[in-house]
Amino acid sequence: MFSTAQKRIIASKVQGILKETRHLELPLGEIQFSLHVNGAEAWSWADIRNNGAITDTSNANSWNEAAQAAAKEVSVSREDIEACFLDSKGELMTEGDVADSIFEMLRAHHVTVTDDAEAEEA
């Protein structure tokens, strides 16, 4: 369900949460744990262990690795969004111009955008 990188992030955060408890029965070094996560579907699940327990990632699920790589984060500022609604004179744009402006802003942030009108023309 998660990529190797996502599992490592989750494991690191779980490790931190466990250490923050300062429970007397926990070891001083790395805490060994196993976390099972059930997904929304019966076939969707993940087993996550502490990072130190994982030495071989060669059996990683290629589907999960590809899905995580495709889901990159995009950061857009409020200024970018506001600029999509105002023309160069600071006046509100028409609906079509706003849509064009949003497409341009997303493309500038390397987001793949498909325009039904462009697809129909092709």
What's the pLDDT score for residue 16? 92
pLDDT digits (tens, 9 = 90+) for 17-68: 999 999 999 999 999 999 999 998 898 899 999 988 877 777 777 777 676 6
Backbone angles phi, psi at 47, to 5 degrees: -110, 125
What's the pLDDT score for residue 54? 77
Tokens describing residue 104: 């341009």
pLDDT digits (tens, 9 = 90+) for 90-100: 888 888 888 88
- The 3-state DSSP composition of the chain as helix, strand, coil percent (nearest 5) reads 45, 10, 45
pLDDT digits (tens, 9 = 90+) for 59-81: 777 777 676 666 666 677 777 77
